[in-house]
Amino acid sequence: MPNIYKGDFLKELESLFGKYKKLPGSLSLFDIGDGQLRIYTRYSKVHGRNQTFYGLRKDDLKMLEGTNSIICFLWDNQKEPLFLPFSDYEEILNNIEAASDGQIKASIFLGDETELYLPGAGRFNVEGFYGWDILHQAIDKSKLTNIPDFSHSQIQTIIGSIGATKGYDIWIPQNDRIKLDWTFGPKYLPKVSLPERYNSISNVVTEVDVIWIQRGSSEIKAMFEVEHSTTIYSGLLRFNDLHLAEPNLKPKFSIVSNEIRKALFLRQINRPTFRLSGLIDLCNFLEYKDVYAWFKRMVK
C-alpha cells in the first residue's frame, strides 16, 4: 500500500479515535478504542472501467472472526473511505475459495453506484458504507440509526428519490404511483411514459419497480426490483428477460430486500441459467438498511 494513502488514512484515524495498535504478523490489521474495533485496510489503484482490485488474505480474515471488525477499502483520490462491516460478509467470505496465494480476489466498481464484487458470490451495492461515521457507529452502538420497518412502497419512493437527487428521470409503474410515501424526502414526478426505444419489451420493462433514466436521453442507467414479499427468483427472471431481449442494454440491475434474504439471492443468482446469460455479472443485492443509509448520505 503506497505510504501516501495509508499514511493519510492512519493520521486521520488517530486524530478521530486516538492511538491505534497494529496487530502482530500483519501490516494491514489495526485495533482502535482499546480493542473496541478491529480494522483491516486494503488499497488499490483505480484501473480501467473505474475498477479496483484487492487481495483479501484468508489468514487476515481469520483475525477478524469473533471481533467487532471493519474492512476498509482505499483507492486513489478517494473522498471518503469505504468501511464494510465484516459481520455482513463473513459467511460469504468463508464460503469463497482463496486463490493459490491464499487471497480472495475482490473488486470494487466505482460509478453512480459503488459495487463490491466477490468471485463466486456476485455483486453487492455498498453505497451506504462511506464515511467515518461508520466507525463511530461501529464503536458506539447507541449512535446507530434506527432503521424504520419499511414497506415495499416506501423503499420504491426512497430509491426513486436517490435517483432524482442524482439527476436522473425516474420511472415507477403506473399502478404503484398512488402508493408512494413522501415522508422521507422531497417529492419528484415519475416519467409519464418510457422512451419509444423500449416499446418492443414494454410488457416487461414497465413492470420494473424503479428505473433510473439518463435525463435528456433514452438510456436506462439502473433498474431496481423490490422483493418485499414476492420471490427473489421472479425479479431475477424479469431482469434476465430484459438482458436477453436487449443484450446491448447494460444497466445496473439490483434486487432490493431485507437482510435475511441475502443468502437466498446468492443461491438464486448462482443458478446455471443466470451464469450462462451473464446476469450474475450485472446484478447486485441491496439491503433495505443500505438503501436508507445511501439516502441519508445523499440528503446530507
Name the residue range of residue 37's domain.
3-142
One domain for residues 77 and 156: no
Q: Which one of 142, 164, 185 terminates a domain?
A: 142
pLDDT of residue 146: 59
- Could you tell me where the beta strands, DSSP code E, fall in 159-263? 169-171, 210-213, 220-226, 252-257
Please list, residue by residue across 145-162, b when 16 or more beta carbons sit within 10 angstroms of its beta carbon and e when fewer do: eeeeebebbbbbbbbbbb
Query: Are 277 and 240 spatial neighbours (Cβ–Cβ below 8 Å)?
Result: yes
Tens of pLDDT along the chain (300 residues)? 445 678 889 999 988 888 888 888 888 999 887 778 999 999 999 998 889 999 999 989 988 887 889 999 999 888 899 999 998 888 889 888 889 999 999 999 998 889 999 988 888 999 989 999 888 888 775 444 556 788 999 999 999 999 999 899 999 999 999 999 998 778 899 999 998 888 888 899 999 999 999 998 888 989 999 988 778 888 999 999 999 988 887 788 999 998 778 888 888 998 999 999 999 888 988 888 888 888 887 766
pTM over 0.85: no
Query: Do 295 and 159 fall within a single domain?
Result: yes
- 132 domain residue, yes or no: yes
Give the number of other CB atoms < 10 A from CB of residue 79.
6
How far apart CA 81 and CA 25 sit, in angstroms, is: 24
* Whether residue 208 is found in the same domain as residue 267: yes
Flag whether 265 is in a domain.
yes
Same domain, 125 and 196: no
Residue 14 sits in the same domain as residue 48? yes
At 39, which CATH number?
Answer: 3.40.1350
Same structural domain, 170 and 133: no
- Note whether residue 211 is domain-resident: yes
* Inside any domain, residue 47: yes
| Residues 119, 72, 34: CA angle, nearest 5 degrees | 135
Per-residue confidence (pLDDT) for residue 46, from 0 to 100: 92
Is residue 147 domain-resident? no
Of 109, 142, 175, the residue at which a domain comes to its end is: 142
At residue 143, the pLDDT reads: 47
Q: Kindly state whether residues 58 and 163 are assigned to the same domain.
A: no
98 with 189, same domain: the answer is no
Same domain assignment for residues 70 and 190: no
Look at the chain and report how many structural domains it folds into: 2
| Chosen domain end from 112, 142, 172 | 142
pLDDT, residue 97, reads 87
What pLDDT does residue 144 have?
47
Sequence-distant (≥ 6) Cβ neighbours of residue 202 within 8 angstroms: 194
